[in-house]
Structure 1
Amino acid sequence: MRILLTTLNSKYIHTNLSLKYLYSVVADSGLDVELREFTINNERDLVFGEIMRGGYDLVCFSCYVWNIEQIRSLCSDLKKARPDLRILLGGPEVSYESERFLRDNPWADFIIRGEGEKPFSQFCRELISGNRDFSKVSSLTYWGLDTVISNEAGSLPYMDRLPFPYTYLEVETDKIVYYESVRGCPFRCSYCISSVDSTVRELSLERVRRDIGYLMYKNIRQVKFIDRTFNYNKARAGEIWQYIIDKDNGTTNFHFEICGDLLDSDSFRILSKARKGLFQFEIGVQSANPYTLREISRKTETAGVLQNISKLMELETIEVHVDLIAGLPCEDYRSFAESFDRVYAVHPSVLQLGFLKLLKGTRIRREAERHGYVYRNKAPYEVISNKYMSAIDFVKLKMVTTVLDLYYNRGGFQRTLEFLIEDMEVTPFRFFERLADFYYSGKYHMASHKKEDLYRILYRFAMKQEAKFSGISTRAEHFLTLDLMDTLNPEVVRRFMEKGWELK
């Protein structure tokens, strides 16, 4: 019995922690189990050919919104080529509406719903025994003789009993290493699948110290904690941060998703000791509209969150990514612009504009009709419009996102952006809105551009403002020059000056 654990990651540097857990729980079972990860950017024929050449009896896919459509197509072809091949699916994209998924996709044989370690271990025991009595496998949905059967969910394992995957697998030092110290989330945000089960289970501090100590010993470039709200327990978070600071190897960066309003004086006292580049935080503000926050059951106080983000930025050692979500209930275009301006005012390292996805299993998907949601039929089920914003509003926000990523999130334009926003006497959102209109009307979005050409495009934008703001392009040229000299290497700057500001 040859078994393949696989998935299609969104990028090469990403890895799949779930598969590593599954591999670890059966590594000593005697089964012939292989783990291989591909990406959504791999050629379809390459992935198909590699799986076919492997001669597997069972192929197990980890399914998410970013890969489910490609997995559907790939598995359909695999089943046509090898009717005897058994296909098992797991992951959030198939854990909800699993019976319907099997009926709609006859190439699929089994689905493990939710956490997979215990069911997968039970499943493999049935394979080893030869009995194949799948009724004994908890959380399994599968085909019976002529109907789909869903077994009841079993108890969840204690976190410390889960294996540390890198006991069995090599650490991939050229990729992001994902790590999990907590499962579940105490909060009930209506758009998040973590809200479906508010149970929180955590690894012991002793286990966390041992695990991340090993990863630091291996000089991993980045360890990304996938805990939904890492600092839900402030004291525990502080102890882990302190341990990392004490054992810092000078190389590894640790990424955490945190709740901004849970940071307190003890948190800042600890974090103030971290070297620059040791920590990276992702903080979901999502909206500054109090009606929106109430509607999505997000109990945060925006002013306090923004104040703490500002304090983090003042440390000048932690990269802070702040998230806003366009398309939440009760937030129209104007309200979103106000949320944007409030977040922009604290100058986060990165301001990420995401668009609401109505994920399977979430409350907001069940309430779609009440809010007038129109969303894409296929994953990732992104919003098209709702009763608060039209489809063209979302298109305009996508345009703003494009120029925000190019000119703010990528860095290198800080002085110029500050100058233009102040000199044009506009809010940050209105500035990026106007820049987006210019960028798209000039068809600059139709091609990729070198960094130095982005300076030329922004100069052209400044020239376009001359009719209303006399002399603005000359002043903008001064700040653009300072920015590009700080950002680009001297040889590129020299060539830029020889070529000048014309975009050819």
Structure 2
Amino acid sequence: MKILLTTLNSKYVHSNLALKYLYSVVAESQLDVELKEFTINNEKDYVYGEIMRGGYDLVCVSCYIWNIEQIKELCTDLKKADPHMKFMLGGPEVSYDSTNFMKENPWVDYIIRGEGEYPFFQFCKCLAVGNTDPSLVSNLTYRLKGNIVENPIATLPVMDKLPFPYNFLEVEQDKVIYYESSRGCPFRCSYCLSSLEVTVRRLPLERVRRDIGYLLYKDVKQVKFVDRTFNYDRQRANDIWKYIIDKDNGKTNFHFEICGDMLDSDAFRILSKARKGLFQFEIGVQTANPYSLQAVERETDINPILYNVRKLMDMGNIHVHVDLIAGLPYEDYKSFGRSFDKVYGAGADNLQLGFLKLLKGTRIRQEAGEYHYKFRNKAPYELISNDFMSSLDLVKLKMVENVLELYHNRGGFDRATEYMIERMELTPFGFYERLADFYYSKDYQHAYHSKEDLYRIIYKFSMRQEARFSGISLAAKELLERDMAETMNEDSVKRFNRKGWNI
């Protein structure tokens, strides 16, 4: 039997850690198993052709909110082309309500629910000895005589029993290397799938050091830890950070998702010694509204988080990314603006304005009726409206998100935006809201704009404010020129000056 492990990643630089684990657990078997990853941006005919040419008996696909619709279309066509080809799905997008998914998608033969390594090993072990009885495989949903059967969920394996994928696979130098030192999360946020895992399991420190040491030896560009809350155990996190700093190869960057209020004095002492560019932190703030936090059972205090973000930014050696989520209970448009201002004021390098997604399996989706949530039928199930946010409110926040990404997160406008916020006596949210209104009123959203044109657009915005704030456009122009000189190379600046400020 010839088996393919595959998926559609969101970008080429991304890779799928789950498939690498599955490949590793059967790598030393006698089965013919291949691992091929594609992206959602690949031509449909290319992916279809590559799989058809492979002559596979079983195609195993890793499913997420960003690829499930394309996977359904792809596999439907493959099944029509080769009715004998079997399809096994796994991943968070099919692990919940698997029976209904199989009813709606008759091309699906098997679904592995939850963690897949042990069930996939069982399944392949049965294949290797010619046993086709699916009842022997835990976590498996399958078809039997016209019915759909769900086998019981297996006990979760000890983390150290999971193989290190790069003992069996080459390190992909041109991609982000995903790594996990723990599974599960100690928190129970109602919008997050990780809250469904009742325990946190972790690799022994010695194993983590050994794995990291190998990746450092291979000089990979970035290692992204997928641990849901990396520093839930402060001492363990500090030990790992110290090890990385001590073994730093001067090239590799490490990304962590952390809980901001769990950073202690020892962490700051250790982190202060890190090379600039060694670490990148993602800190989920989500909201500054205490009623919203309580409603989604997010046990955190916003003030220590923002205090620690400021301390990290003052150190100046760690890139910090913070998140907000629009659409949580009790967070209306004005409340979200206040949350935005508080988080923006912490000065993080990147502020992501995200929108609530009612994921399959989460408690907030199960309780959607309580606050009259309306959300899109297809993945990623993004919020349309609720009792606190109208659909128009969310559209307006999408506009703010767009200009925030262009004029804050991409960098290169700091002096000018800071000046205009102060000169116009606006809050940060009020400024980006007004900039968004201008940007969309001029129909700039309809086309891609170069960095040079973004400078011209915001200068034009400053000119619009001139009648009310005399001299603002001249001062903004001078600051934009300084921002531009720091951000763009000399040739780009010369090209800009030849064309001038008109767009």
Task: Answer whether TM exceeds 0.5 for this pair.
Answer: yes
Letter in 1 for 2:445: H
Letter in 2 for 1:172: E
- Aligned match of 1:73: 73
Letter in 1 for 2:260: G
CA distance in 1: counterparts of 2:187 and 2:151, whole angstroms: 28
- Matched residue of 1:354: which SS? strand
1:409 aligns with 2:409: yes
Query: For the Cα contact (< 8 Å) 1:86–1:108, is it kept in 2?
Result: yes
- Aligned match of 1:358: 358
- Aligned match of 1:185: 185
The alpha-carbon deviation at position 7 of structure 1 amounts to 0.1
- Aligned match of 1:389: 389
Query: For the Cα contact (< 8 Å) 1:284–1:322, is it kept in 2?
Result: yes
Q: How many residues align?
A: 503
- Aligned match of 1:458: 458
Letter in 2 for 1:392: L
Query: For the Cα contact (< 8 Å) 1:10–1:66, is it kept in 2?
Result: yes
Query: For the Cα contact (< 8 Å) 1:159–1:203, is it kept in 2?
Result: yes
- Aligned match of 1:493: 493
Query: For the Cα contact (< 8 Å) 1:185–1:200, is it kept in 2?
Result: yes
Equivalence map 1:368-383=2 (5 Å): 368-383=368-383
1:346 aligns with 2:353: no
- Aligned match of 2:367: 367
- Matched residue of 1:369: which SS? helix
CA distance in 2: counterparts of 1:82 and 1:127, whole angstroms: 20
CA distance in 1: counterparts of 2:10 and 2:392, whole angstroms: 28
RMSD between aligned residues: 0.5
The alpha-carbon deviation at position 133 of structure 1 amounts to 1.1
- Aligned match of 1:37: 37
1:224 aligns with 2:224: yes
Query: For the Cα contact (< 8 Å) 1:326–1:354, is it kept in 2?
Result: yes
Letter in 1 for 2:18: S
Letter in 1 for 2:374: V
Normalising by structure 1, report the TM-score: 0.99
- Aligned match of 2:332: 332
- Aligned match of 1:173: 173
- Matched residue of 1:88: which SS? strand
- Matched residue of 1:156: which SS? coil
- Matched residue of 1:470: which SS? coil
The alpha-carbon deviation at position 185 of structure 1 amounts to 0.5
- Aligned match of 1:475: 475
Which structure 2 residue ranges, 5 or more long, are not aligned? none
The alpha-carbon deviation at position 131 of structure 1 amounts to 1.7
CA distance in 1: counterparts of 2:492 and 2:51, whole angstroms: 45
The alpha-carbon deviation at position 187 of structure 1 amounts to 0.4
1:237 aligns with 2:240: no
CA distance in 1: counterparts of 2:9 and 2:492, whole angstroms: 34
1:51 aligns with 2:51: yes
- Aligned match of 1:313: 313
Query: For the Cα contact (< 8 Å) 1:88–1:109, is it kept in 2?
Result: yes
Letter in 1 for 2:73: S
Query: For the Cα contact (< 8 Å) 1:358–1:383, is it kept in 2?
Result: yes
The alpha-carbon deviation at position 198 of structure 1 amounts to 2.4
- Matched residue of 2:89: which SS? strand
Query: For the Cα contact (< 8 Å) 1:224–1:254, is it kept in 2?
Result: yes
- Aligned match of 1:148: 148
CA distance in 1: counterparts of 2:470 and 2:131, whole angstroms: 83
CA distance in 2: counterparts of 1:105 and 1:500, whole angstroms: 56
1:125 aligns with 2:128: no
Structure 1 outlier segments of 4+, above 3 Å = none
The alpha-carbon deviation at position 497 of structure 1 amounts to 1.6
Identical pairs, percent: 67
Which structure 1 residue ranges, 5 or more long, are not aligned? none
CA distance in 2: counterparts of 1:242 and 1:198, whole angstroms: 29
- Aligned match of 2:423: 423
Instruction: Note the alpha carbon deviations across 1:401-440, whole angstroms, 9 max, x for none.
Output: 0000000000000000110000000000000000001001
Instruction: Note the alpha carbon deviations across 1:147-178, whole angstroms, 9 max, x for none.
Output: 00000011111111110000000000100000
- Aligned match of 2:444: 444
1:139 aligns with 2:158: no
Letter in 2 for 1:173: Q
Query: For the Cα contact (< 8 Å) 1:188–1:298, is it kept in 2?
Result: yes
- Matched residue of 1:11: which SS? coil
- Matched residue of 1:195: which SS? helix
CA distance in 2: counterparts of 1:321 and 1:432, whole angstroms: 18
Query: For the Cα contact (< 8 Å) 1:187–1:198, is it kept in 2?
Result: no
- Aligned match of 1:268: 268
Instruction: Note the alpha carbon deviations across 1:31-75, whole angstroms, 9 max, x for none.
Output: 000000000000001000000000000000000000000000111
The alpha-carbon deviation at position 128 of structure 1 amounts to 1.2
The alpha-carbon deviation at position 498 of structure 1 amounts to 2.2
CA distance in 2: counterparts of 1:462 and 1:214, whole angstroms: 52
Query: For the Cα contact (< 8 Å) 1:62–1:90, is it kept in 2?
Result: yes
1:213 aligns with 2:246: no
Instruction: Note the alpha carbon deviations across 1:451-488, whole angstroms, 9 max, x for none.
Output: 01100000000000011111110111110010001111
Letter in 1 for 2:497: M
Letter in 2 for 1:310: R
Query: For the Cα contact (< 8 Å) 1:59–1:86, is it kept in 2?
Result: yes
The alpha-carbon deviation at position 108 of structure 1 amounts to 0.1
The alpha-carbon deviation at position 301 of structure 1 amounts to 0.6
CA distance in 1: counterparts of 2:450 and 2:290, whole angstroms: 40
Instruction: Note the alpha carbon deviations across 1:65-92, whole angstroms, 9 max, x for none.
Output: 0000000011111110000000000000
The alpha-carbon deviation at position 311 of structure 1 amounts to 0.3
